[in-house]
Structure 1
């Protein structure tokens, strides 16, 4: 059945959904409305893992191939703590510039007959009246969702630490962490390549360190200069780069909604949910939302049933991701608990930061148990049994019934 779809927001979620719906039925009338000019976007590079490419390959091999060909890869992780360094090999990670990702998705959508309407802001008052489905893919500050915030039950939960998202001409050959001690506390960065000549560099610290180092009153130029000095050991003389609109320090806010749809309006991507940037899942979750929504619309001819199915599927899939993101953020917020371990042990627990068991066990003991669990089935079973129980307890303490 031919449907008319208005997708508000030209990010990864909205563009990929339009691609999938056109592949399902070329007769669908689909327009993606984006308020910004084509080619303008925020951010630097995004990360994803091989499992996402495999999923994209199932649904649209052409998009998966273009994404793969335009990504950089790494298998190692490196941690620098003071003047000590440790390196570990792991799963293959991928990085791609956000600008290039959107170019790929926009070109594929156009080739399939999707209309892309740039520099046109759609509000609740200017929505196409004859649209069968309206997709709010307009991000964490979604205007469409905000208009019905009471219905959606939107909640924003602020984190504690300050962070800033930067670029650099230093090309990291591994996913790189650097932890620097100052007289005002620890500050750290993590960097990863996303092009032949660029990397993303995210800097984070506690509020006390942020104000103690003067970032609350420094100009952008002075702030970047100080960060370049602090992280000179990993930047090798390369500059840090702020965006055209500046490089604001932010506090991450976790967004949740009680429900994701209202009549013919449905939330997708960051308009529906956010997860802490330290697990690098935002783009992956947006694309997986698009896959699930397209699948639900294909499986159910009635829109209410399709939207309800989509929401159930994605809520269930997000539970472990949200738990991992919450514990990951808390690991960094409690960095002093781990930073004085030998670097190889600290890095091992950094890799375990998603664990609901880790905050409840002394770090040195957890490290020994984790090493032993890799060799002993009984300890591995104990870890699997305790982890979910502690996760459920923490989840019940931190979430209200509306979540």
Structure 2
């Protein structure tokens, strides 16, 4: 049966959903409306991991091939603390420019017959559509007007952060921690092309104001940050896109994800703290789940209900991990004075619901022992999901 689908928002989630729905039934009439001009996007590069690439291959081999071909990869992580550094092997990670990713998905969607309209902003569901997809981001106009129905909840993080780029190409996922007279400031860096990397800088409120970043203009801010992270930037500049500003991260959840024929997708439905690097992955997985629900359920209400129920359940663990990750950085002084290799080990464990309640040195020792003793590994796996579910219940 031919279905008319209107997708509001031309980010990865909206474009990938359009691709999947067209592959399921080429007769579907699908239009993606993007409010910004073609070729303009926020952000620099995005990260993803091998398991996402495997899923992309299963759903649409053609776009998966293009995404992998235009990605850079790494299998190490490095942490710089003052003048010390430590490097560890890690799971294989990938970086791709957000601009490049959107180009690839847009081209694939159009090749399948999807209509993509730029400079087209919709703030209300259009008449005549069988399905309207709100993929218009964390500030979704379609969701905001119905926030009472969706049960939208937004919590704001304590720390300040800014999303920047640099011509320094990091060869590993890089963490850099710098101590100042006003506290610690740190950066996350990862390559996403042969000539650019993403560099996210974060600090506590007292450091932000103490360094004068609340009063500095863009040029002054970049100059100060380049000085503070000179050792890892190797003389390369930091670059800000137009409109870049310091922000506090907003974690968004919704109690339900659909209203009539309107359904939420990606950041319009949920956000997870950038320190877990899962935003794009979760958005694409939303699209996979929604497309699957629409394929297996004959009725739209049943499909949208199943999509929301399944994705909310799948997100419990990652949302818990993201909250604990953000809290790890908000409580950085608790960990930063450990020897670098131990601090880095606990950085890798920052998603654990147990870590905030166990002295760091003791946790390090127990975690090391758990890696060698199967009963402790089983106990840790058993405790983690249960703590995550308990935390989810408290936040409902």
For the aligned pair, the TM-score class normalised by the smaller chain equals over 0.9
Does residue 91 of structure 1 match 2:91? yes
Q: Where does residue 6 of structure 1 map in the other structure?
A: 6
Q: Where does residue 169 of structure 1 map in the other structure?
A: 167
In the TM superposition, what whole-angstrom CA distance separates every residue of 1:170-189 from its partner, at most 9, and x where no partner exists? 00000001000011000000
- Superposed CA RMSD in Å reads 0.9
SS in 1 for 2:192: strand
SS in 2 for 1:76: strand
Q: Where does residue 30 of structure 1 map in the other structure?
A: 30
User: 4+ residue runs of structure 1 moved beyond 6 angstroms?
Assistant: none
Q: How far apart in 1 are the matches of 2:316 and 2:262?
A: 23
SS in 2 for 1:195: coil
Q: How far apart in 2 are the matches of 1:318 and 1:259?
A: 13
Q: How far apart in 2 are the matches of 1:381 and 1:26?
A: 47
Higher deviation after alignment, 99-108 or 128-137: 128-137
SS in 2 for 1:251: strand
1:160 touches 1:206 (CA, 8 Å); kept in 2?
A: yes
Q: How far apart in 1 are the matches of 2:301 and 2:220?
A: 53
Does residue 361 of structure 1 match 2:358? yes
Q: Where does residue 108 of structure 2 map in the other structure?
A: 108
1:155 touches 1:257 (CA, 8 Å); kept in 2?
A: yes
Q: How far apart in 1 are the matches of 2:312 and 2:151?
A: 15
In the TM superposition, what whole-angstrom CA distance separates every residue of 1:190-230 from its partner, at most 9, and x where no partner exists? 10000100000000000000000000000100000000000
Q: Where does residue 374 of structure 1 map in the other structure?
A: 371
Question: Unpaired runs of 5+ in structure 2?
Answer: none
2:5 touches 2:28 (CA, 8 Å); kept in 1?
A: yes
Q: Where does residue 229 of structure 1 map in the other structure?
A: 227
TM-score, length of structure 1 as denominator length: 0.97
1:356 touches 1:388 (CA, 8 Å); kept in 2?
A: no
When residues 63 and 82 of structure 1 are mapped into structure 2, their CA distance, relative to the original with a 3 A threshold, is same
Offset at residue 380 of structure 1 (A): 1.7
Does residue 185 of structure 1 match 2:183? yes
Q: Where does residue 160 of structure 1 map in the other structure?
A: 158
Q: How far apart in 1 are the matches of 2:388 and 2:34?
A: 39
Offset at residue 306 of structure 1 (A): 0.4
Offset at residue 122 of structure 1 (A): 1.0
Does residue 20 of structure 1 match 2:20? yes
2:304 is matched with which residue: 302, 307, 310? 307
In the TM superposition, what whole-angstrom CA distance separates every residue of 1:70-127 from its partner, at most 9, and x where no partner exists? 0000001000000001000111100000000000000000000000111111121xx4
Offset at residue 379 of structure 1 (A): 1.8
Offset at residue 147 of structure 1 (A): 1.1
Question: Unpaired runs of 5+ in structure 1?
Answer: none
Offset at residue 312 of structure 1 (A): 1.2
Q: How far apart in 1 are the matches of 2:269 and 2:180?
A: 38
Offset at residue 278 of structure 1 (A): 0.3
Q: How far apart in 2 are the matches of 1:23 and 1:386?
A: 41
Offset at residue 26 of structure 1 (A): 0.4
Q: How far apart in 2 are the matches of 1:389 and 1:103?
A: 41
Q: How far apart in 2 are the matches of 1:335 and 1:105?
A: 38
When residues 18 and 392 of structure 1 are mapped into structure 2, their CA distance, relative to the original with a 3 A threshold, is closer
Please show how residues 59-70 of structure 1 align to structure 2 within 5 Å: 59-70=59-70
Q: How far apart in 1 are the matches of 2:223 and 2:390?
A: 44
Offset at residue 15 of structure 1 (A): 0.3
2:265 is matched with which residue: 251, 260, 268? 268
2:271 touches 2:279 (CA, 8 Å); kept in 1?
A: yes
Offset at residue 129 of structure 1 (A): 1.2
Please show how residues 241-260 of structure 1 align to structure 2 within 5 Å: 241-245=239-243, 247-260=244-257
Does residue 78 of structure 1 match 2:78? yes
Count, aligned residues: 396
Offset at residue 63 of structure 1 (A): 0.4
Q: How far apart in 2 are the matches of 1:390 and 1:265?
A: 33
In the TM superposition, what whole-angstrom CA distance separates every residue of 1:8-58 from its partner, at most 9, and x where no partner exists? 000000000000000000000000001111110000000000100100100
Q: How far apart in 2 are the matches of 1:286 and 1:381?
A: 31
TM-score, length of structure 2 as denominator length: 0.99
In the TM superposition, what whole-angstrom CA distance separates every residue of 1:335-392 from its partner, at most 9, and x where no partner exists? 0000000000000000000111111111101101111111112222232333334334
Q: Where does residue 44 of structure 1 map in the other structure?
A: 44
2:157 touches 2:248 (CA, 8 Å); kept in 1?
A: yes
Offset at residue 7 of structure 1 (A): 0.3
Q: How far apart in 1 are the matches of 2:385 and 2:21?
A: 37
